[in-house]
Structure 1
Amino acid sequence: MTTFKNPIIPGCYADPSICRVGDDYYLIASTFEYFPGVPIFNSKDLVNWRQIGHVLDRPSQLNLDGTPNSKGIYAATIRYHKGIFYMITTFVESATGERRNFFVTAENPEGPWSDPYWLEDCPGIDSSLFFDDDGKAYITANRRPPSGQDYPKHMEIWMQELDLETKQLVGEKYSLWDGALKQIHAQEAPHIYKVEGMYYLIIAEGGTGFTHSVTIARSESITGPYEGSKTNPILTHRHLGRDYPIANIGHADIVETQNGEWWMVCLGSRPYGGKYRNLGRESFLVPFIWENSWPVVNPGKGIVEMEGVRPHLEEKRWQAEAACDHFDSDTLGMQWNFIRTPREDFWSLGKRLGHLRLYAKPETMTEEVNPSFIGRRQQHINFAVRTKMEFQPNNEQEVAGLVLLQNQDFQYRLEIAKSEIKLIKRESGKEQILAAHDFNKSEVFLKVEAYGQNYQFYFAENAEQWKILYGNADGRILSTDVAGGFVGTYIGMFASSNGFESTNYVDIDYFEYIGLT
């Protein structure tokens, strides 16, 4: 096959960072308030990717208690140096709280990764690592310019040496660059590279929305001064208009193949049903060449396309993942996430073999807490989800079911209650029961089908004998364009006792997710 299709990793896998070790490529992405944090993927050909783990998979590494939605883990960078993998990232406590940068290390990308090394006096977000030829290591991030901001969200990129022994910054902080596009705002996502003796600094400018972009500067010295390219921005889609199928392209990282080709990974979104981005920000791939010692992205076109010519690498397809999880393993699949750090054993794969058991917690899906929830990303514009649950509510407070979640204030819940199944729409924190049907069985089949922004909700007493509960629900409330924030839609299972203590639980026999054409 001579072409590939974008995105290379669909769904809410924002801020991709990439590195190559031999003929293996590794890519990571942001995870915000979800746990485990920072999924790591492996590829041999830059097109076919398989998840091999999470970098932050232990509570000792990642305390998300009290983290608001769309805060938490931002814009991680992965690098490899002398047998060690490094992942550096920013932990954003809240909208106004501290931004703390840390890194972890591992000899094997599958883990285990170390506990965090927290960096003192390391301001800003989107921290990155660079290892120079002389063995010195440097950290870059953004900050407000020491001389003050000339316009709203005016930031600069700074750099400081990292002592690999003490795991702390040493020496002077250097102001490197405050971007090419004055007044555009939000200079962030810095990465330094050294190519043929020249230092290159790639950053993002314009925020993460429609005006997102990639710009570049270079210097003969790592400390500067840095000269911006006259062709900046080297990549953006804001000039294509709001009807182009790929939007808000930006936040790039680059890699050279073992064959000497250069490729860029970046984030972007696929709006649908209007200007709505339920899938969040996804990971895309685009080629570039060097011309007069500057990069030219996708020569002759200058944009990210839905389909492009493949890298000149031997194709390596991984075994396809099963569409249906029957919960037969003793560990959760890598596609599953919790909201914030799980602090108690509210789920089990061993209490009933072949089932996932979720215990009802007092916490609900409408609070910024760690509810009894296990979910996965929506990865397709059209999709179908099926599940079989066994649940016997003891009172009106105990509920369980499926949830389509943007955040605590924007969601759909297909909910099993004491004597009924109901569909609840929650928009801007206000709830509306769209449909309800009497139901007293302990076993129930639930299904959601989405075609664009049109959602259909079903239930059944027996397999595949579906009854529609509600049709034509508006999926746009699940987009960041309505709900705000930075994450895409999650689909998952939940159980709650709505503020009361409970020992009850729901047993889930299977969960099937299928992308539809």
Structure 2
Amino acid sequence: MEYYNPIIPGFYPDPSICRVGNDYYLVTSSFELFPGVPLFHSDDLIHWEQIGCVLNRESQLPLGRCQPSQGIWAPTIRYHKGRFYMVTTNMSGKGNFYVWTDDIRGEWSDPIWVSQKGIDPSLFFDDDGTVYLLSTFDGPKGQGIGQSILDLETGKLLTEPKPVWYGSGGKYPEGPHLYKWDGLYYLMIAEGGTEYGHMETIARSRSPWGPYESCPRNPILTHRDTALDQFQAVGHADLVDTPDGELWAVFHGIRTTQYMLHHIGRETMLAPVYRDKDGWPVISGGNPITPHMRVTSIKREVPRETGKASSESAGAFQEHFDDGRLSYCWSYLRNPDTANYTLSTRPSFLGLTAGCDFLDGCGSPTFIGRRQQHFFVNVQAVVEFSPENENSQAGITVFHTNEHHYDLLVTRKNGEKAVLLRKRVGDMITESQPVYVPEKTPLALSVQASKLEYIFSAGAVGESPKVVGKGRTQLLSTECMVSTFTGCLFGLFAQGAGTAWFDSFTYLPACEEPAEEKR
């Protein structure tokens, strides 16, 4: 069997997975985006479809004034006795909590908060009915993994958290997941920080409380010593078995554009796992993770053409705003003011009304965005907008944080309607020369993305667009900021004053890389 990594491209980090029958369900971190915790389904581990988000109500996910890369960190999804559980950390809220549902495509409960501190919580259901809650833990030897017994109905801790393993020696032991095979408990964690030294390690014990014996081959997954043209920052894994007894790992990694720079974010990847003669798991046969994977095969026949996923999460995508709801791939920045969004006032149009917040702040600007999932992609939005003044702005943005974004905006300059490119990088803001456009004609705003550059164009619909400006991907890279955990989104926005009417949005990956950018 052949497949391609990443299996879910774009900013979908910290994956966790569970299986029910022949169906697999996967969740990822969402940070300051709302709704939170994207939820995916697959029946073959390769082709994934987003079926919603776990946290879609403000009562589940309060994100007021959430700082960049705060919010939701590292969820874990598990299934137990007919019920799904998702446990995570709200770094902008009260800490760790879990929610549950009996219908994976329906609503989830309000949060059940737990008093155990730390981050990256995980649940383990033992054979005797005991429920263990794991998370990071600051113990007498520094940061490690802590554990308690949980009353699943109430969220009350039945035991005080206790450190069980401090890891194999790497910094920031986190992301714990506990498994049980052949009567032994295997505790798998991430170490090294979610950076270029990232790795996955594992230990085992006859008791869930330890002592844990570290695998002699740790780390069992890392790219810390590989060439920079390969995936980097590989780690934060979770394991799942197939109905046929095979074992697979999902984890995240990054794709760099040039030396130690990435801007799309950490992406979800897949590799086969086998257990060696001593029972230790071996990921990808001990070999590096590659974009084109050839493996022995999931024993069930993959019913579709292999390759990148065919869902809206990974391929060409068009939104005409005629379904009465936004597709699941869209996100808001923090909790939206729903009065500023409409899909019903004008049929087949999305109306965005400027609120009091701007893209430059940490409020909730009128904005919807979808993740950039390809280096080479053409994005276009068709908009009708009559700006009132220079403070009245709407358009399309390549957005990473409130201090790092490129905005192709329609506004008014010298009393005339114009399009210009505004680029914010930290405390530096630049604007291009305005391109003047007709007053009442719908405009096509376009972004042509490559590994190293964004090219922004605009023009009346049906006419040849004019290049308004360019921006380097380098300046929207995580390494050029203060340690963000997110990636770039293509967003639609309105700010200052007025209502913008978006008729369509198109995301079209390019078939191949331009020759001058191939390595």
Q: Which TM-score bucket, shorter chain as reference?
A: over 0.9
Deviation at 1:173, TM superposition (A): 2.3
2:10 aligned residue: 11
Q: 2:119 aligns with which of 125, 144, 152?
A: 125
Deviation at 1:463, TM superposition (A): 2.4
Residues 32 and 69 in structure 1, CA contact (< 8 A), matched pair in contact too: yes
Structure 1: any 5+ residue segments left out of the alignment? Answer: 150-154
Deviation at 1:313, TM superposition (A): 2.5
2:291 aligned residue: 306
Q: 1:169 aligns with which of 157, 170, 174?
A: 157
1:396 aligned residue: 390
Q: 1:114 aligns with which of 109, 115, 119?
A: 109
Q: 1:193 to 1:427 in 2, by over 3 A?
A: same
Deviation at 1:169, TM superposition (A): 1.3
- Say which is worse superposed, 301-310 or 286-295, in terms of deviation: 301-310
1:347 and 2:341 are equivalent in the alignment: yes
2-structure distance, mates of 1:239, 1:436? 47
Residues 47 and 310 in structure 2, CA contact (< 8 A), matched pair in contact too: no
1:44 aligned residue: 43
Residues 15 and 251 in structure 2, CA contact (< 8 A), matched pair in contact too: yes
2-structure distance, mates of 1:346, 1:108? 31
Q: 2:205 aligns with which of 219, 223, 229?
A: 219
Please tell me the residue identity of whatever aligns with 2:282: V
Deviation at 1:384, TM superposition (A): 0.6
2-structure distance, mates of 1:80, 1:270? 32
Q: Deviations over 1:216-237 (max 9, x none)?
A: 0000111111111111011100
Residues 112 and 154 in structure 2, CA contact (< 8 A), matched pair in contact too: no
Please tell me the residue identity of whatever aligns with 2:507: Y
Q: How does 1:57-456 map to 2 (within 5 A)?
A: 57-93=56-92, 100-120=95-115, 122-145=116-139, 147=140, 149=142, 155-181=143-169, 184-241=170-227, 243-291=228-276, 292-299=278-285, 301-308=286-293, 309=295, 310-317=297-304, 320-321=311-312, 323-418=317-412, 419=416, 420-442=418-440, 443-456=442-455
2-structure distance, mates of 1:396, 1:123? 48
SS of 1:345's partner is: helix
Residues 13 and 283 in structure 1, CA contact (< 8 A), matched pair in contact too: yes
Q: Deviations over 1:164-206 (max 9, x none)?
A: 232221123221100012xx31000000001111100000000
Residues 49 and 311 in structure 2, CA contact (< 8 A), matched pair in contact too: no
Please tell me the residue identity of whatever aligns with 2:302: E
TM-score by length of 1: 0.93
Q: Deviations over 1:23-67 (max 9, x none)?
A: 100000000000000011011110000011100011111100011
- Say which is worse superposed, 40-49 or 272-281, in terms of deviation: 272-281
1:152 aligned residue: none
Q: 1:65 to 1:316 in 2, by over 3 A?
A: farther
1-structure distance, mates of 2:21, 2:263? 36
Structure 2: any 5+ residue segments left out of the alignment? Answer: 513-519
Please tell me the residue identity of whatever aligns with 2:134: T
Q: 1:40 to 1:430 in 2, by over 3 A?
A: same
Q: 1:165 to 1:362 in 2, by over 3 A?
A: closer
Q: Deviations over 1:256-289 (max 9, x none)?
A: 1111111000010011133221110000001111
Deviation at 1:476, TM superposition (A): 1.2
Please tell me the residue identity of whatever aligns with 2:156: Q
Residues 8 and 48 in structure 1, CA contact (< 8 A), matched pair in contact too: yes
Deviation at 1:451, TM superposition (A): 1.6
Aligned residues: 495
Please tell me the residue identity of whatever aligns with 2:372: Q
TM-score by length of 2: 0.93
1:475 aligned residue: 473
Please tell me the residue identity of whatever aligns with 2:3: F
Residues 206 and 213 in structure 1, CA contact (< 8 A), matched pair in contact too: yes
Residues 278 and 476 in structure 1, CA contact (< 8 A), matched pair in contact too: yes
SS of 1:38's partner is: strand
Deviation at 1:515, TM superposition (A): 1.2
2-structure distance, mates of 1:229, 1:464? 63
- Say which is worse superposed, 340-349 or 400-409, in terms of deviation: 340-349
SS of 1:452's partner is: coil
Residues 297 and 303 in structure 1, CA contact (< 8 A), matched pair in contact too: no
Q: 1:228 to 1:89 in 2, by over 3 A?
A: same
* RMSD of aligned alpha carbons: 1.4
Deviation at 1:303, TM superposition (A): 2.0
Deviation at 1:470, TM superposition (A): 2.0
Q: Deviations over 1:53-86 (max 9, x none)?
A: 1000111111000110100000000000000000
2-structure distance, mates of 1:507, 1:88? 38
2-structure distance, mates of 1:99, 1:204? 24
Residues 441 and 461 in structure 1, CA contact (< 8 A), matched pair in contact too: no
Residues 178 and 188 in structure 2, CA contact (< 8 A), matched pair in contact too: yes
2-structure distance, mates of 1:99, 1:157? 20
2-structure distance, mates of 1:330, 1:363? 25
1-structure distance, mates of 2:467, 2:390? 24
Residues 360 and 505 in structure 1, CA contact (< 8 A), matched pair in contact too: yes
Deviation at 1:462, TM superposition (A): 2.6
- Say which is worse superposed, 223-232 or 69-78, in terms of deviation: 223-232
1:491 and 2:497 are equivalent in the alignment: no
1-structure distance, mates of 2:196, 2:94? 25
1-structure distance, mates of 2:337, 2:420? 29
1-structure distance, mates of 2:399, 2:233? 22
After TM superposition, what 4+ stretches of structure 1 lie above 4 angstroms from structure 2? 316-320
Please tell me the residue identity of whatever aligns with 2:431: I
1-structure distance, mates of 2:489, 2:153? 40
Please tell me the residue identity of whatever aligns with 1:44: D
SS of 1:417's partner is: strand
Aligned-residue identity in percent: 40
